[in-house]
Amino acid sequence: MLGDFQKGYPDPVYIGLEVSNEREATANASMTVDFTIDEIVGDVASAPAFIGEGENSIDTSGISEENDFSEPSIGEEDVLEEDFREDQVLVEPAGEMDASGNFIQETDQETGADPSDNPEGSALFLPQRNFAFERWGAYNYEQSSGSTYFTGYVLEPTYRMEDSSLPLLWEESGDKSLMALGLASEVLIDNYQEQTITKNSSLILSDGYQLHIMSVDAQGERAYLELTRYGEVLDSSTVRPNASFSGDNYCYKTDMGSAKGMVVIAVHFKNAFAGLYDCLATCDGVFQISSSPISYSQLESGG
């Protein structure tokens, strides 16, 4: 049937729909259904209930406008934003330490990076290891060109500290962190082995340092020590090997550039004895770092 083309269309438009089934195939028949433009674009309700005849006819009587729906569109920016959120890894920021070992700000410090270049608000990673004499706790370090560089004393206690409430070298040191000051110092000695010191046999350290035992009282409770460097006396002190843990350690502190009062030598004394003609003491832990630090940034280029 031809549609009504009296709305300004110059020529009729035909849309043909051929429907075939076994019955129609036998009769070699086909049917063409014609629609007007108005019938195609008009209201669904005005369309005929059945289009065509036979088994393949199309039923439109059950279609209503209420069933029409459209899925929400997803913009490209939405997909990108969602993918970005899924790929993010959130890291709890850690504060940067000042020279006293206190956390003062957020930082993005990674191993080998210059602390002065740290942006705020990102993670801080500081490798650490226990002292060979484990009752001292642990220290931060970096590896560069096959050498170990000390970067700071660690506040957190380790399980081998026993009765110590705070790490001794952290507590004794004025400034706690060289890294916070842009510095690093080579670890010269870190051992846990027994050595005997007498008046005639001092404890030989690195960089020209030597620790001498001058005398021990009759009860063996106090040992009097002197530290020299290239023969010059730098320090004298008393240790009490049979007293509390804090009393049987010798610590030498010095300024290292902008780092003030940093412990650079530590010796733990196990015992001391006074003889008729001599005195001796046994130490079983020694730690020493260079008193001449380098810039932390030099570690990036191999030291």
What sign for the dihedral angle of Cα 105, 109, 115, 117? negative
State which amino acid sits at residue 145: S
Q: Is residue 160 classed exposed, middle or buried when 0-12, 13-18 and 19+ CB atoms within 10 A define those classes? A: middle
Q: Is the pLDDT of residue 5 over 50?
A: no
Confidence band (pLDDT; 50, 70, 90) for 298?
A: very high
Confidence band (pLDDT; 50, 70, 90) for 153?
A: very high
Confidence band (pLDDT; 50, 70, 90) for 97?
A: low
Strand, coil or helix: 138: strand
Question: Per DSSP, what are the bridge partners of residue 140?
Answer: 128, 152
* Model pLDDT for residues 27-54, shown as the tens digit of each residue: 444 444 444 445 544 554 454 544 445 4
Window from 78-82, 128-132, 147-151, 212-216 with minimum mean pLDDT: 78-82
- Single pTM value for the model: 0.61
Window from 93-97, 212-216, 240-244, 252-256 with minimum mean pLDDT: 93-97
What pLDDT score was predicted for residue 180?
95
Domains and CATH numbers, the chain: 1-69 (no CATH), 127-299 (2.60.98.40)
* Model pLDDT for residues 163-192, shown as the tens digit of each residue: 667 899 999 999 999 999 999 999 999 999
Q: Do 158 and 193 touch, CB atoms closer than 8 A?
A: no
* Model pLDDT for residues 245-293, shown as the tens digit of each residue: 667 899 999 999 899 999 999 999 999 998 888 899 999 999 999 999 9
